[in-house]
């Protein structure tokens, strides 16, 4: 284990956040705040509660997940893609750090930024809607698990991408639609039987459901299933990253 190498990568990547606070922190917080204003305060005040939870509070977990998934992927993918683009990746690969130490540095920084952002949005939501947290420890656990898992996924996308436009394909065309269709603004129990079954094939459903359970004690899917599906995706991402470093896919060529 080379803690100095991990710390150097981690601090370098994290420093990018403080150099661009408007883009990295303020922009996603303001964007999510607009959802709270429109759906929480304006529309939510005219809608019935869902599972005895006011609509404005009900959508908080979904909106936080919407931001976390995209930010985790973007932070990690850009972090590893930029050294590839500039050619400095060869300096990292030749440094006395192992593959997993490199991943730990890049993914750790991306997950930390996303976790800070999630907590900041959770605090910001208090200004627009009232809510209580039923399981605060589980909430932080789900937040951290989601940030790490999708930062790993973003790392894979960053290695796969051979152009800046490809960095945005998966977040914009895959993750965002899946999040909107994963119960962010509604309970999947409200869907007709056929669409309810189809929705269960959406992996984001389990993330939102688990996070909503940690917030309010209610969920569309059992919390054990949500946790298991998240851990399964995390292990799948780790397996792909292991294969990337084993073969040198788009890193050494």
Domain boundaries, the chain: 3-247
Q: What is the pLDDT of residue 4?
A: 85
pLDDT reported for residue 92: 85
Is residue 178 a contact partner of residue 206, using CB atoms and an 8 Å limit? no
pLDDT at position 73: 93
pLDDT, residue 76, reads: 92
- Residue 53 sits at φ, ψ, to 5 deg, of -115, 130
pLDDT the model gives residue 40: 67
pLDDT digits (tens, 9 = 90+) for 134-145: 899 999 999 999
Which one, of 44, 29, 58, lies nearest residue 215 by Cα? Answer: 58
pLDDT digits 0-9 by tens, 164-173:
888 888 888 8
pLDDT in tens, 84-124: 888 888 888 888 888 899 999 999 999 999 999 999 998 88
CB 111 within 8 A of CB 148: yes
Positions of the chain with pLDDT under 50: none
- HEC string of the chain equals CCHHHHHHHHHHHHHHHHHCHHHHHHHHHHHHHHHHHHHHHHHHHHCCCECCECHHHHCHHHHHHHHHHHHHHHHHHHHHHHHHHHCCHHHHHHCCCCHHHHHHHHHHHHHHHHHHHHHHHHHHHCCCCCCCCCCHHHHHHHHHHHHHHHHHHHHHHHHHCCCCCHHHHHHHHHHHHHHHCCCCCCCHHHCCHHHHHHHCCCHHHHHHHHHHHHHHCCCCCCHHHHHHHHHHHHHHHHHHHHHHHHHCCCCCC
Q: Can you give the pLDDT at residue 240?
A: 95
């Amino acid at each position: 284990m080379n803690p100095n190498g991990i710390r150097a990568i981690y601090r370098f990547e994290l420093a990018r956040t403080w150099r661009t606070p408007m883009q990295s922190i303020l922009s996603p917080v303001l964007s999510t705040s607009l959802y709270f204003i429109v759906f929480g305060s304006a529309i939510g005040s005219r809608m019935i509660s869902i599972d005895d939870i006011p609509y404005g509070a009900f959508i908080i977990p979904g909106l936080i997940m919407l931001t976390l998934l995209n930010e985790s992927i973007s932070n990690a993918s850009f972090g590893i893609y930029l050294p590839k683009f500039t050619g400095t990746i060869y300096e990292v690969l030749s440094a006395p750090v192992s593959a997993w130490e490199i991943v730990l540095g890049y993914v750790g920084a991306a997950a930390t930024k996303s976790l800070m952002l999630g907590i900041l949005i959770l605090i910001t939501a208090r200004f627009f809607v009232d809510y209580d947290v039923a399981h605060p420890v589980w909430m932080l656990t789900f937040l951290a698990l989601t940030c790490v898992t999708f930062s790993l996924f973003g790392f894979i996308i960053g290695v796969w991408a051979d152009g800046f436009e490809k960095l945005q394909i998966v977040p914009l065309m895959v993750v965002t639609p899946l999040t909107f269709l994963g119960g962010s603004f509604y309970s999947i129990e409200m869907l007709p039987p056929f669409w309810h079954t189809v929705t269960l094939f959406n992996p984001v459903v389990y993330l939102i459901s688990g996070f909503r359970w940690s917030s309010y004690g209610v969920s569309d899917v059992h919390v054990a299933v949500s946790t298991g599906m998240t851990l399964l995706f995390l292990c799948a991402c780790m397996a792909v990253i292991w294969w990337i470093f084993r073969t040198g896919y788009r890193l050494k060529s």
